[in-house]
Amino acid sequence: MNMRRLYRLTGPDALPFLQGLVTNDVLPLAKGPGLVYAALLTPQGKYLADFFVGQTAHGLILDLPEVLAEATIRRLSMYRLRADVQIAPVPELFIHRGLGPCPADGFADPRDASLGWWAVRDVPPEADGTDWTALRVAALVPEAGVELIPDDSYILEAGFERLHGVDFRKGCYVGQEVTARMKHKTELRKGLVKVAVEGAAPVGTPILANGKEAGILFSQSGGQAIAWMRHDRIQPVMQAGDALVRPRD
């Protein structure tokens, strides 16, 4: 599981502030506890960061991948202007994840039911041996810094609609126009797919089909992998370094 950083948002404008920036509808969190998965985009519609926004017993919590946390908070602070919202780190809090029944202080992972539950607590979690990469690959869920590349990825190609990370009815947010155009006016010709892999190849290895580059191999576990592919170049058998790659349903 990725290293995470937590921030608390306070002030009367906290939710409206986020609502005008992120890809999903966070206003329902004003009504009570809940968890929303969302992303922050560039004005050109490219991915900058993905995160959870949770209304918890510890307040309104922003749960960010550590590798993107500082840059994301700087970007949010740039947009803050006159909004009455404060963003502060909360190093005394920790994310807990687990499978099985959701605890009283937890929320089901909104991306996919197979990813279990999420909770914020004031004690560090104990390692439980869960292979989160295997679960993520099986559910075709991208990860920041691997499949999700800042200033490069498009969230619809990364499956954010399937993962409940974008709301097309919520109104304006940064990058909304490009995202809506991709949804309603174009056919996605590229995107993340699940593939079977025989052999070994590092993350980032180009996938070749009939001698042409057809995609890139990313996270792998147990003979399965996530790949970014050009849909028109997918073949029954492809090559990634010394590994054979085959599409999966």
Are the beta carbons of 196 and 240 closer than 8 angstroms? no
> Would you say the C-alpha torsion 119, 94, 39, 46 has a positive or negative sign?
negative
* pLDDT tier for residue 175 given thresholds of 50, 70 and 90: very high
Residue 121 burial (10 A CB sphere; 0-12, 13-18, 19+): middle
* pLDDT tier for residue 1 given thresholds of 50, 70 and 90: low
| pLDDT tens string 189-242 | 999 999 999 998 999 999 999 999 999 999 999 999 999 999 999 999 999 999
SS3 35: strand
Residue 25 CA: distances (Å) to CA of 18, 99, 130, 132: 9, 26, 30, 27
pTM of the predicted model as reported, rounded to 2 decimal places: 0.95
